[in-house]
């Protein structure tokens, strides 16, 4: 059912000819926080499981496209979504927004639809907080959406901290408690915005939670004395979590580290009123606190990190006979096919980050001359010792030549090309190089288990995988590999990072299937996750960017003695 709902969500985001590079310089960046109250309950035996999707409108067209979606929150009609939207704010533009709310497991997924506003409307509301009734179902009250905007400070620091608790209240009849913590930053109007939720620790009154990292701006937006509130709950499966107690602190206090100032009494105000001898509901202590500057993608690029690009093209028979116009590999003399268009669009961006512009290009799923053996990892240029092609044109030339020499066959196996690139990534893990594999394919994957295992292993390496699906086939397996919602696993082992981005090429084509509506949007969506994936690898290995070398100066030349 979740897949059906996601299909419906994605179908509402239409494509338009919109160039996101308008040349305007945003006045600032704002963070939008979303909550809902009193949502319509669509589930029979539990509460709804809401998900919210934000759509934006292009400056030059009136059609909507998806900007991003929140996490799913189980069993609640009053969700406070943790995932934020960060938008460029242009004072001089009308920036139209649309928020849709969905119940992820309902046969009728729409809780409410088409809640419209502008970014200026949110920013311009009192305390930059806008409440609007949710509509879409005639004759029914669908609840309220609450939108809050806060300008982001320029602080790039990340705080990593760990907490434990002692002698928390027992809340479960047959056990102890299943405690978790929720952190909130205070707003200028005195309200609070959720910014982090810990994991649940099962059946204990003395939990030790895992360390977590959070941007300092998310905690206090640069105001180190701003109040930070922490609430402690006992987790319940039905979503009606029991409140244990709360305390307040500040970033300034947390910075002092592990000491008596950071041992906090967890207080339940209602208990305090009812019970005269009530002292507290336990204590929470800060075990560790560390602050590091957040490094950006450009910091690593400026420090010399090279991005190595490898392409792998699907040569299976399901693509159709290349000599016929119905084939996805058909070489029309007047326009590029989908494989060539996807390759050119992505490659022309990535090649700017590779100094020598030499790229390995592989094919899979074909019979090779002279003996007709099937290969899932063959060089497009025919040179096993040196599969490198010179620039994007070199790859396109090798691709065209391969179509004339190999026989399309099958099956569709990804694991060999994933492992091929992973072997190179495994040899260089010092942060100097990062590898991106672009797989362009038309069909259903044949070696799913082996590919999952290859991806889980590759997630430990400096590597990302982009999958572009061409044609009209079902791509459910590709969505599974793209671990945005559920992290991919193999043999019970979760991938360390999400390293796969899947994009269906048809979403960017016109109705005839012959023209790309917005190449800029295609490129943006295909490459959107690469910077964060690179940063996540570097952070996981504690690799910092190299200092930017000073500009060359004649003074730097070594002095020589005259002959």
- Domain at 114, CATH number: 2.60.40.150
**pLDDT over 70 for what percent of the chain?**
85
Strands of 430-552, DSSP E: 433-441, 463-469, 489-490, 493-494, 500-504
**Domain end marker among 268, 293, 318:** 293
558 domain-assigned: no
555 domain-assigned: no
Residue 324 has pLDDT above 50, yes or no: yes
190: left (phi over 0), alpha (psi -120 to 50) or beta: left
More confident residue, 154 or 528: 528
163 domain-assigned: yes
pLDDT in tens, 506-518: 887 766 656 666 6
Residue 6 has pLDDT above 50, yes or no: no
- Supply 128's token pair: 């930059």
From residue 193, give the alpha-carbon distance in Å to each of 89, 189, 218, 227: 20, 11, 9, 11
Same domain, 398 and 489: yes
Same domain, 179 and 145: no
Same domain, 163 and 96: no
127 domain-assigned: yes
Same domain, 46 and 82: yes
Across 69-73, 152-156, 272-276, the highest mean pLDDT is recorded for 69-73
Residue 18 has pLDDT above 50, yes or no: no
Q: Which residues contact 548 (CB under 8 A, 6 or more apart)?
A: 302, 303
pLDDT in tens, 206-221: 999 999 989 888 888 8
Same domain, 312 and 438: yes
Cβ neighbours around 488 below 10 Å, total: 20
CATH number, residue 455: 3.40.50.410
**Of residues 399, 328, 404, 327, the one with CA closest to residue 364:** 399
End-to-end CA distance of the chain: 83
- Supply 482's token pair: 């793209």
Residue 548 has pLDDT above 70, yes or no: no
**Domain end marker among 135, 152, 169:** 152
Total number of domains in the chain: 3
Note down the domain range covering 255. 157-293
- What is the maximum alpha-carbon separation in the chain? 97
4 domain-assigned: no
Same domain, 202 and 72: no
**Domain end marker among 270, 293, 316:** 293
Distance from C-alpha of 266 to C-alpha of 483, rounded to nearest angstrom? 37
pLDDT in tens, 454-473: 999 999 999 999 999 988 87
pLDDT attached to residue 11: 35
223 pLDDT band, cuts 50/70/90, is: confident
Name the H helices within 66-149. 119-124
pLDDT attached to residue 94: 77
**Of residues 524, 449, 525, 522, the one with CA closest to residue 480:** 449
Same domain, 270 and 206: yes
Distance from C-alpha of 181 to C-alpha of 408, rounded to nearest angstrom? 56
Cβ neighbours around 363 below 10 Å, total: 25
Same domain, 143 and 177: no
14 domain-assigned: no
Q: Which residues contact 333 (CB under 8 A, 6 or more apart)?
A: none
Residue whose tokens read 């065209």: 400
Same domain, 450 and 352: yes
Same domain, 191 and 331: no
Quote the distance between the C-alpha of residue 32 and its chain's center: 17
Same domain, 431 and 341: yes
pLDDT attached to residue 297: 80
* Entry pTM: 0.57
Same domain, 407 and 466: yes
**Of residues 247, 211, 251, the one with CA closest to residue 232:** 247
278 domain-assigned: yes
9 domain-assigned: no
Residue 91 has pLDDT above 70, yes or no: no
């Amino acid at each position: 059912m979740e897949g059906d709902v996601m299909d419906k969500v994605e179908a509402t985001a239409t494509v338009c000819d919109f160039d996101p590079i308008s040349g305007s310089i945003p006045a600032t960046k704002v963070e939008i926080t979303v909550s809902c109250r009193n949502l319509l309950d669509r589930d029979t035996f539990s509460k709804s499981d809401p998900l919210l999707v934000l759509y934006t409108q292009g400056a030059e067209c009136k059609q909507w496209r998806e900007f991003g979606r929140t996490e799913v929150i189980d069993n609640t009609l009053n969700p406070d979504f943790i995932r934020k939207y960060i938008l460029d704010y242009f004072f001089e533009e009308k920036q139209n927004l649309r928020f849709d709310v969905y119940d992820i497991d309902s046969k009728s997924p729409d809780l409410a639809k088409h809640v419209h506003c502008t970014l200026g409307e949110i920013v311009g509301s009192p305390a930059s907080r806008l409440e609007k009734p949710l509509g879409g179902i005639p004759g029914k009250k669908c609840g309220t959406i609450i939108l809050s905007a806060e300008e982001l400070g320029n602080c790039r620091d990340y705080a990593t901290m760990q907490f434990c608790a002692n002698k928390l209240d027992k809340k479960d009849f047959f056990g102890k408690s299943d405690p978790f913590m929720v952190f909130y930053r205070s707003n200028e109007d005195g309200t609070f915005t959720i910014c982090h939720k810990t994991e649940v620790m099962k059946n204990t009154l003395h939990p030790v939670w895992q360390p977590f990292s959070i941007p300092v701006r998310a905690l206090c937006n640069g105001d180190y004395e701003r109040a930070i509130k922490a609430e402690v709950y006992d987790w319940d499966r039905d979503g009606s979590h029991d409140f244990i107690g709360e305390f307040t602190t500040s970033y300034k206090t947390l910075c002092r580290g592990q000491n008596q100032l950071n041992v906090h009494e967890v207080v339940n105000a209602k208990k305090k009123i009812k019970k005269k001898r009530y002292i507290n509901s336990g204590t929470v202590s800060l075990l560790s606190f560390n602050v590091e500057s957040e490094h950006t993608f450009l910091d690593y690029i400026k420090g010399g990190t090279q991005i190595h690009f490898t392409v792998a093209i699907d040569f299976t028979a399901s693509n159709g006979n290349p000599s016929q116009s119905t084939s996805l590999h058909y070489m029309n003399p007047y326009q590029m096919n989908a494989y060539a268009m996807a390759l050119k669009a992505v490659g022309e961006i990535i090649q700017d980050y590779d100094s020598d512009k030499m790229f390995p290009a592989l094919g899979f799923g074909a019979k090779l001359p002279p003996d007709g053996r099937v290969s899932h990892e063959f060089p497009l240029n025919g040179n096993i010792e040196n599969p490198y092609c010179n620039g994007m044109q070199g790859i396109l030339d090798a691709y065209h030549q391969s179509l004339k020499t190999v026989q399309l066959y099958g099956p569709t196996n990804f694991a060999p090309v994933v492992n091929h690139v992973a072997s190179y990534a495994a040899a260089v893990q010092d942060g100097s190089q990062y590898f991106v594999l672009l797989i362009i394919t038309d069909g259903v994957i044949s070696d799913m288990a082996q590919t999952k295992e290859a991806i889980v292993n590759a997630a430990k390496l400096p590597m990302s995988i982009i999958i572009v699906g061409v044609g009209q086939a079902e791509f459910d397996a590709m969505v599974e590999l793209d671990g945005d919602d559920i992290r991919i696993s193999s043999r019970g082992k979760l991938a360390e990072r999400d390293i796969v981005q899947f994009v269906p090429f048809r979403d960017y084509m016109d109705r005839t299937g012959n023209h790309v509506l917005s190449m800029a949007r295609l490129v943006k969506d295909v490459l959107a996750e690469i910077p964060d994936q690179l940063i996540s690898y570097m952070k996981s290995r504690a690799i910092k960017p190299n200092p930017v070398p000073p500009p060359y100066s004649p003074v730097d030349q070594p002095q020589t003695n005259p002959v």
